[in-house]
Amino acid sequence: MALTQSIPVVDLAAFTSGDAASKRAFVEQLGKAYEEVGFVAVKNHGISDDLIAKLYKYVQLFFTLPSDIKRSYEIPELAGQRGYTSFGKEHAKGYDAPDLKEFFQFGQTVEDDDPITNEYPPNVAVKEIPAFSPTFYDAYRAFETSGKALLQAIAIYLGLDEHYFDEYIHNGNSILRAIHYPPITQEPASAIRAEQHEDINLITLLVGASADGLQILDKQDNWVPVTSLPEQIVVNVGDMLQRLTNNRLKSTTHRVVNPPRDMWHTSRYSIPFFLHPKSEMPLNALESCITANNPLAYEPITAGEYLDERLREIGLKK
């Protein structure tokens, strides 16, 4: 298994179109990486270069709009789950200082008769950029497809049915988030753009950020810079999957640091896809992950209850 900046690299094509032996090898690679590191770089992930380029193009266009126009897409009662969230609203769990970012969130589009559609607010269309929402929709579906395949591999690794997660993530509460870290215009109070944190969801798929800055905390408590190659996405375990596996699969602590001083004038853009299940999915620890050496670490909770708890902790929900 090749390593990029100490992150294992896996080839999703080995799972989706390989023979039985390739599939088994992929499952083993992915599972071990998530037990030991919590992050992997994935190649042949199925999200086209053209779609990624369009996504970044429209994201950058949106964040260059005047502040009053951007703020017209901010809907406070949605707790940041749809539309725009202005600079300095969100902070990491356990930290009061706001992260130095603004972001836009796009959520699930329910296209069958699933009554869950009543749980989700509609997406916010940006009228100044007609191609914005259609491009986000296409990217959302592409990320869902890749994420589903990765969760199928994780299910096999955990000894579950390959399709264990399928029903929970169909019409799930996933979020595609476009983040803008603006240029630094004065001596920052901290070297951190986004304070150390773990993600809330099952897994996060991150398509190459426009600049360096992402770091993960390794087992020796060292901060390691992470840069995926252009043809790779970075996929990490979130807290929901960590809870479900009773800490067998690790939700890795990560942060975003400021660039070197000579790059302060630059923006950083990042587009993570937070793969969430439906709110009713139980996150009760799997029996197979509870042992004498790894006793039960968490109380039972549903994905919806857990998300609500965490949104309050990071300041998006009152």
User: Do the beta carbons of residue 51 and residue 139 sit within 8 Å?
Assistant: yes
3-state secondary structure the chain: CCEECCEEEEECHHHHCCCHHHHHHHHHHHHHHHHHCCEEEEECCCCCHHHHHHHHHHHHHHHCCCHHHHHCCCCHHHCCCCEEECCCCCCCCCCCCCCCCEEEEECCCCCCCCHHHHHCCCCCCCCCCCCHHHHHHHHHHHHHHHHHHHHHHHHHHCCCCCCCCHHHHCCCCCEEEEEEECCCCCCCCCCEEEEEECCCCCEEEEECCCCCCEEEECCCCCEEECCCCCCEEEEEECHHHHHHCCCCCCCCCEEEECCCHHHCCCCEEEEEEEECCCCCCECCCCHHHCCCCCCCCCCCCEHHHHHHHHHHHCCCCC
- The rounded average pLDDT for each run of 10 residues, N- to C-terminus, in the chain (318 residues) is 62 92 96 90 92 95 96 87 82 61 94 94 96 97 97 97 97 95 76 77 83 78 79 92 95 84 83 95 95 93 91 69
Say if strands 214-217 and 203-207 run parallel, antiparallel, or are unpaired. unpaired
CA atoms of 201 and 194, how far apart (whole Å): 18
User: Do the beta carbons of residue 229 and residue 4 sit within 8 Å?
Assistant: yes
Read off the DSSP letter of residue 313: H
Second-level CATH architecture of 9-314: Sandwich (2.60)
SS3 at position 177? strand
Spell 125-158 as b/e; 16+ CB within 10 A means b: ebeeeeebbebbeebbebbbebbbbbbbbbbbbb
Per-residue pLDDT at 54: 95
CA angle 120, 94, 103 (to 5 degrees): 45
Per-residue pLDDT at 90: 56
Per-residue pLDDT at 3: 39
Per-residue pLDDT at 1: 39
Per-residue pLDDT at 281: 96
Per-residue pLDDT at 2: 40
Per-residue pLDDT at 193: 66
Cα-only R_g, the chain: 19
CA atoms of 302 and 113, how far apart (whole Å): 23
* Residue 315, Ramachandran bin (φ over 0: left; ψ between -120 and 50: alpha; else beta): left
Read off the DSSP letter of residue 107: -
Count CB-CB contacts under 10 A for residue 171: 21
Query: What is this structure's pTM?
Result: 0.91
Does the CA dihedral 40-42-48-53 come out positive or negative? positive
Per-residue pLDDT at 44: 94
Per-residue pLDDT at 91: 57
Domain boundaries, the chain: 9-314
CA angle 80, 84, 86 (to 5 degrees): 90
SS3 at position 160? coil
Per-residue pLDDT at 4: 42
Per-residue pLDDT at 62: 97
User: Do the beta carbons of residue 210 and residue 268 sit within 8 Å?
Assistant: yes
